[in-house]
Amino acid sequence: MNGRYPHFKGHTPAGLHILRDGLVMNFFIQRPHRQIGGSIVRALAVYRQHVGLEKLGFYTGYEGYDLRLDAKALSDIHEQLINADGCVIQLWEHDDQWSGYRFDYRGRMLGTDTYIRSPDAVSCASFWLPTEYLEEQGPARVKELAMALARELPLTSGYANLAFNGMMDTFRVGPLIHDLCFRYPGLDIVDDNVTYDLGTRPKGAYWLNFYGQPLLDKLGGVAGLRERLTLPGISVEQLQPDKVLVQLGEWPEADGELRPYRQLARVLEPHLYQEARPVLPAEVMRRWERRFLD
């Protein structure tokens, strides 16, 4: 770890809190929601038990309002996850500030007429932690949670990493991120738009990287990854026959040389995803996406 992690809060001129630092665990699954709803329910239960049931106290209702997450609401959410053809679920820590703890899920109706023109769409589950959790609990505790989530999910790819935790659909958040993203290249820019066309490609190089099939074979399998990822601190761990974890150091890094990230990015380069609907201006986003390559 290279010293203290960055902590920041971004607000609109009217005082609305729209950006903060955090750590995200993102899992992309190229399967219809109908096939994975039960896995999402189990993963959400793992996350809540790990961080504390009280950490998610609100949810976004059908009309966009934040409502109290009580037993009835949680039961209704589980019902959606199990029985709906597709769904969007958002659970929050607070109703009056941008949350450090957060769960977002977008379950796509893949294979239906709705997505016939989107062959690379994916379902996605995002589990957020405040940076303070990492600092207080340590990286082993965060890795334990990420691995427990990965075991529950039939992931195509996934990762855990420091990130900009923001209201990405608000136009004012882009300039705030622009001022910070090259100062802290280890922080990921998380945008739900990636779920429309990510497919089986990796999104980038991160602290904890989870690869499932068919991506794992494209990267040369466990043996191929071990042969090419040679820097001290990098580990390649087979979790299941079709699932591997690549870890870049004991702690995630926000800035500095980031040599392990650069080595992994070079391995991933032929397969990397390029953001089609960027939060930042297109030329800035391309430069940021290649920050470990150029």
Q: Is the pLDDT of residue 267 over 70?
A: yes
Is the confidence at residue 1, as pLDDT, over 50? no
Residue 2 pLDDT level (bands cut at 50, 70, 90): very low
Kindly report, residue by residue over 75-129, the tens digit of the pLDDT: 999 999 999 999 999 999 988 778 899 999 999 999 888 888 889 999 999 999 9
Domain boundaries defined on the chain: 19-284
> Is pLDDT at 63 greater than 80 in this prediction?
no
Q: Which pLDDT does position 3 carry in this prediction?
A: 53
Tens-digit pLDDT profile for residues 213-250: 999 999 999 999 999 999 999 999 999 999 999 999 99
Nearest to 59 by CA among 81, 91, 85: 91
End-to-end CA distance of the chain: 24
165 close to 128: Cβ distance less than 8 angstroms: yes
Q: Is the preceding peptide bond at 241 cis, omega within 30 degrees of 0?
A: no
Measure the CA–CA gap between 29 and 42, rounded to whole angstroms.
15
Q: What CA–CA distance (Å, rounded) separates 182 from 118? A: 32
Look up the pTM and report it.
Answer: 0.95
Beta 66-68 vs 208-212: how paired, if at all? unpaired
> What's the rounded Cα separation, in Å, for the pair 124 and 126?
7
Q: Quick check: 21 pLDDT over 70?
A: yes
How far is Cα of residue 224 from the mean position of the Cα atoms in its chain? Answer: 25
What's the CA gap between 27 and 33, in Å, rounded? 13
